[in-house]
């Protein structure tokens, strides 16, 4: 019995350590919830980052595919720098109620696909936010609070640091014209930092992606009130390629990169031009770094008059690849690699294919390839990687003073390549 007790204790430890904390990320968790957007002050091209104490708001909206009113509510969760739930109690990070009902909604008008558009803003008259950092918003039906239907993420920044960053196409690992290297200098302002290596965290993203974001950076130089991150292998990114684009703002004719549009009940079907590999040569294109914009010229109002089209993506290929899978990637699929974005191979048509129900507008997308035994997707198979690629880099500086229980976001900077 004594040995059995030790076995049970060991099993408990294994199970406890194997349970990972939930990481919050934008996304719908139900098929009927579509087109989730999170914009600051309604600016679709900007990241959802507010300034602490300002009158800025973040606007969250989504569609539910019916004309039946649903009593939706939301709850606000304060997160650590890694987007896991922080130890803060709601009373510590907000004034008001942590859960509130979504009161603004409109039904679609003159669309084949019926939907109801829901929207709300934060902060609002019911809730004010007191702390900086990362925030996740869970959306649920009022009578089913334990079932999260969608998650929206945003940030609040204190602007207590200056960030100076530079990009170079000449890297410390190669000169093969495929990478970009970032150097960063961080200067906290008005903060008493005792142990900067423990209290300051810097996170870097390329095109607001989380799959290749960099964390746990160690400064190469430290002193005189600044931290310098230079010649760091972690800050060398593959350049990738410009995002592919298509435009479907009307059903009357084919837009950018669309082969044809036809109606087969119950949807309009949009067939994109076949996607060919871009691994041999870089060609500049004015993309929006993965974003999408809902827009129609057929209806009166973009948000309630835009139709839902079934969009068909394809990659012609004589034979399927056996060591991995292709995925669609971009903000329109929440930059996630999952069953919803995974493409399947058709032996009949000799192509990888995927069909997604998308709302009218203009879209950026890429093809990611994920090897079977790897969690690191790559653009190499379809898009290539080039130093000339115009990318955005987002730099987030978090601060947790000794004894504090949450990560403050004290600085944010975005820079673009300009080679």
Domain with CATH 2.60.40 in the chain: 22-157, 161-239+390-416
The size of the chain, in residues, is 419
Please answer whether residues 33 and 63 qualify as being in contact, where contact means their C-beta atoms are separated by less than 8 angstroms.
yes
| pLDDT for the residue 14 | 42
Q: Residue 202: beta bridge partners?
A: 397
Report the C-alpha gap between 53 and 87 in whole angstroms.
Answer: 22
Which stretch of DSSP H or E encloses residue 304? helix 302-305
Asked if omega into 387 is within 30° of 0 (cis), the reply is: no
| pLDDT for the residue 174 | 64
Q: Residue 99: beta bridge partners?
A: 75
Report the C-alpha gap between 276 and 284 in whole angstroms.
Answer: 16
Structure tokens at 183: 């150097």
Q: Low-confidence residues of the chain, pLDDT below 70?
A: 1-19, 174-176, 419
| pLDDT for the residue 5 | 45
| pLDDT for the residue 330 | 98
- Residue whose C-alpha is closest to residue 83's, from 203, 263, 222: 203
The CATH topology of domain 22-157 is Immunoglobulin-like (2.60.40)
| pLDDT for the residue 8 | 42
| pLDDT for the residue 20 | 76
Which CATH number is 161-239+390-416 given?
A: 2.60.40
Report the C-alpha gap between 150 and 134 in whole angstroms.
Answer: 17
Q: Kindly report the CA angle at 378 between 373 and 384, in degrees rounded to 5?
A: 140
At 318-363, the pLDDT tens digits run 999 999 999 999 999 999 999 999 999 999 999 999 999 999 999 9
At 173-186, the pLDDT tens digits run 765 689 999 999 99
Asked if omega into 266 is within 30° of 0 (cis), the reply is: yes
| pLDDT for the residue 15 | 41
DSSP string, 131-195: S-EEEEEEEEETTEEEEEEEEEEEEEE---EEEEEEEESS-SS--SS-EEEEEEEEEE-S---S-
What HEC string does the chain produce? CHHHHHHHHHHHHHHHHHCCCCCCCCEECCCCEEEEEEEECCCCCCCCEEECCCCCCEEEEEEECCCCCCCEEEEEEEECCCCCECCCCHHHHEEECCEEECCEEEECCCCCCCCEEEEEEECCCCEEECCCEEEEEEEEECCEEEEEEEEEEEEEECCCEEEEEEEECCCCCCCCCCEEEEEEEEEECCCCCCCHHHHEEEEEEECCCCCCCECCCCCCEEECCEEEECCCHHHEEECCCCCEEEEECCCCCCCCCEEEEEEECCEEEEEECCCCCCCCCCCCCCCCCCCEEECCCCCCCHHHHCCEEEEEEEEECCCCCCCEEEEEECHHHCCCCCCCCECEEECCCCEEEEEEEEECEEEEEEEEEEECCCCCCECCCCCCCCCCCCCEEEEEEEECCCCCCCCEEEEEEEEECCC
Neighbours of 165 (CB within 10 A): 17
| pLDDT for the residue 2 | 43
pTM for the structure as a whole: 0.93
Which stretch of DSSP H or E encloses residue 358? strand 351-359
């Amino acid at each position: 019995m004594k040995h059995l007790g030790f076995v049970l204790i060991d099993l408990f430890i294994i199970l406890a350590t194997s349970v990972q904390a939930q990481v919050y990320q934008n996304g719908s968790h139900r098929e009927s919830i579509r087109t989730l957007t999170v914009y600051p002050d309604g600016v679709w091209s900007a990241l959802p980052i507010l300034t602490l104490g300002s009158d800025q708001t973040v606007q969250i909206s989504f569609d539910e595919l019916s004309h039946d009113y649903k009593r939706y509510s939301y709850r606000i969760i304060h997160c650590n720098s890694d987007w896991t739930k922080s130890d803060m109690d709601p009373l510590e990070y907000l004034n008001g109620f942590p859960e509130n009902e979504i009161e603004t909604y409109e039904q679609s008008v003159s669309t084949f696909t019926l939907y109801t558009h829901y929207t709300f803003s934060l902060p609002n008259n019911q809730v004010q936010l007191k702390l900086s950092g990362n925030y996740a918003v869970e959306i649920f039906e009022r009578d089913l609070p334990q079932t999260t239907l969608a998650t929206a993420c945003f940030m609040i920044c204190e602007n207590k640091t200056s960030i100076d960053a530079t990009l170079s196409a000449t890297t410390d690992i190669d000169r093969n014209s495929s990478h970009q290297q970032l150097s960063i200098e961080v200067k906290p302002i008005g903060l008493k930092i005792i142990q900067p290596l423990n209290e300051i965290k810097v996170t870097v993203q390329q095109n607001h992606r989380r799959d290749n974001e960099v964390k746990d950076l160690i400064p190469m130089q430290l002193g005189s009130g600044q931290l310098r991150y230079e010649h760091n292998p972690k800050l060398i990114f593959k350049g990738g390629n410009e995002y592919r684009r298509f435009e479907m703002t009307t059903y009357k004719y084919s837009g950018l990169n669309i082969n044809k549009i036809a109606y087969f009940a119950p949807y309009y079907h949009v067939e994109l031009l076949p996607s060919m590999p871009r691994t041999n040569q870089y060609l500049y294109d004015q993309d929006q770094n993965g974003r999408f914009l809902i827009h129609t010229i057929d209806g009166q109002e973009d948000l309630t008059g835009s139709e839902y089209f079934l969009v068909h993506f394809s990659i012609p290929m004589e034979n399927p690849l056996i060591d991995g899978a292709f995925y669609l990637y971009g903000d329109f699929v929440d930059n996630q690699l999952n069953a919803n974005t995974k493409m399947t191979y058709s032996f009949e048509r000799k192509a990888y294919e995927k069909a997604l129900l998308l709302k009218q507008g203009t879209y950026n997308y890429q093809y990611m390839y994920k090897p079977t035994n790897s969690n690191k997707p790559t653009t190499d198979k379809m898009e290539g990687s080039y130093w000339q690629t115009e990318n955005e880099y987002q730099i987030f500086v978090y601060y947790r003073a000794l004894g504090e229980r949450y990560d403050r976001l004290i600085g944010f900077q975005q820079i673009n390549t300009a080679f």
